[in-house]
Amino acid sequence: MTKIIFLDAAGTLFDVRGSVGEVYGQLAQKFGVTVNSEELNAAFYQSFASATPMTFPGIEAAKITQLEFEWWLEVSAKSFQIAGILHQFSDFPKFFAKLYDHFATAEPWFVYPDVFPALNKWQKQGIELAVVSNFDSRLYPVLKALNLAEYFRSVTISTEVGAAKPQPEIFTAALQKHNCTAENVLHIGDSFKADYCGAKSAGLKAIWLNRQQEKVESGKLPLTETKLEQCSSLDYLTF
């Protein structure tokens, strides 16, 4: 019987209302910048995909929040640059500071409807719950604002560990907090590569929360796998 479940955060527990482009655009308009939200959304994902992983190995804890801010400043500025509207800002750093703080609140996020029923069910079953995420330090206030924080015994994020999923080190760091071995833990997340393959490579059991019903070729499965463990919702998972 499963006693410990690790869960990813964004895309698994909660997600952006509408799209990143819409949220960016709504705030940009308050700064006098005209935005096509679809183009900006595409530009954001292009910028995000090309960025180096948000990990800061060997950096002292006191400096991490500033490095997180600078990492996102670069990603956001490049998003507006790709969309061809960065020049419209008279003071982009001022805009970005507002944008960054906005994503630390509940307002731009929504909790998936299957999350609270699943968390409550697992909690009643005595299953220990934890978050393992490539998010930044804003995850702590976001979980609290979304009324999710109370469910989790621990939260492990890439910027504090210095390694990001699918790297095994982030899973190892989470396991150490629970004083347990990998084979006794199940990890659930929405990214096939970061969550499913990452957890499997680290020795954990894993389920891919495939909310978008994506297709994966059998050749891309971890070498030890013959069957892909996946679900489209947390509703039907029982342990």
Per-10-residue mean pLDDT for the chain, 239 residues long? 90 97 97 96 98 93 96 98 97 98 98 97 95 98 98 97 97 96 95 96 95 79 75 85
CATH number of the domain bearing residue 25: 1.10.150
Residue 156 contacts residue 173 (beta carbons within 8 Å): yes
Q: Are strands 185-189 and 154-157 parallel, antiparallel or unpaired?
A: unpaired
Among 75, 102, 129, give the residue marking a domain's end. Answer: 102
Contacts of 96 (CB under 8 A, 6+ apart): 72, 73, 76, 77
Domain that holds residue 51: 18-102
Residue 190 contacts residue 8 (beta carbons within 8 Å): yes
Both 152 and 176 in a single domain?
Answer: yes
What's the DSSP call for residue 53? P
pLDDT at 108: 98
In a domain, 236, yes or no: no
CATH number of the domain bearing residue 144: 3.40.50.1000
Contacts of 70 (CB under 8 A, 6+ apart): none
pLDDT at 215: 85
The Cα–Cα gap between 196 and 93 comes to 36
Global pTM reads 0.94
Both 113 and 89 in a single domain?
Answer: no
Find the length of the chain.
239
pLDDT at 227: 80
